[in-house]
Amino acid sequence: MKFGINTFLFTSPFTNDSIALFPKFREWGFDSVEIALEEAAHIDPATVKKALDENGLTCGSICAALGPGRDLRGSEQEQNAALAYMKSVLDVMPQLGCPILIGPLYSSVGRAEAVEEADYNRQWDTVVAHLKHLSDYAGQLGLKLAIEPLNRYETDFINIGAQALRMIDDVDSDALLLHLDSYHMNIEEKDPARAILNAGAKLGHFHACGSDRGTPGGDQTNWEKISSALRQINYAGNVVIESFTKDVKVIAKAASIWRQFEPSQEDIAIKGLQFLRSRLG
């Protein structure tokens, strides 16, 4: 496994200036960077790739930013905006040497509402059609997508791994995989380790953070069972720390981070990586 850090912990939006973070990431011992890219136009991929290479890092993944206005099950305008955004990100990924686009690619984060079954099924079919198109687009570029279940407060659409696997089956593309997150699993899955085992070879990405969205290891998550499950499926992808603090205010509001539950951003990164390497490495 390779270990990465999501840039949302330190900055938003990610721009060319954000490459100043890379020497710290390498010094702390990370293998890769997960760039949270809110707009493809925010970066010059050649500049970012050069900085990654100079620091012995890779761009292991791009974290999609599906905020308001980008929604594959929303209005026609929102669907088109989401498609255009994700295709623009996919277009720059080969230049970054980045293999996978991850996140809740199906809907805008924060859209959570009760809908009738018929309406939900219509939304499902719409998302399937769009993900077929995006998977074909990604496949032509030699890239992968991985869809992430979110907790019930952030989406009403896909909350658990089993739902995401059903979506993957319906899309039926080798380019579409599953992305699991220990924080969301702690809320939604009856057995997070079982969700990993059920994913098997379909697991394309893994986010690790504490059950309070803080440092992995300083929490109630059963990391022994998660480690065992990842080993049983021979997971060889990236394990990325995706935690948040109050320091990055836009993300703190979106993720409902109202208190300082860790000493610092650096504390999450350094101690979290040490823990994950000791248990998963």
Q: Which residues are designated catalytic?
A: 148, 242
Query: Which positions ≥6 away from 255 have C-beta within 8 Å?
Result: 213, 244
Query: Which positions ≥6 away from 23 have C-beta within 8 Å?
Result: 55
Place of tokens 């080993």: 231
* Dist CA 71 CA 69 (whole Å): 6
Which tokens hold the place of 226?
């998660």
3-state secondary structure (DSSP) of residue 233? coil
* Dist CA 273 CA 268 (whole Å): 8
Query: For 11, phi and psi rounded to 5 degrees?
Result: -160, 155
End-to-end CA distance of the chain: 6
Q: Is the dihedral of CA 126, 128, 131, 133 positive or negative?
A: negative
Q: Which of 78, 71, 75, 103 is nearest to 90 (CA)?
A: 103
* Dist CA 99 CA 145 (whole Å): 9
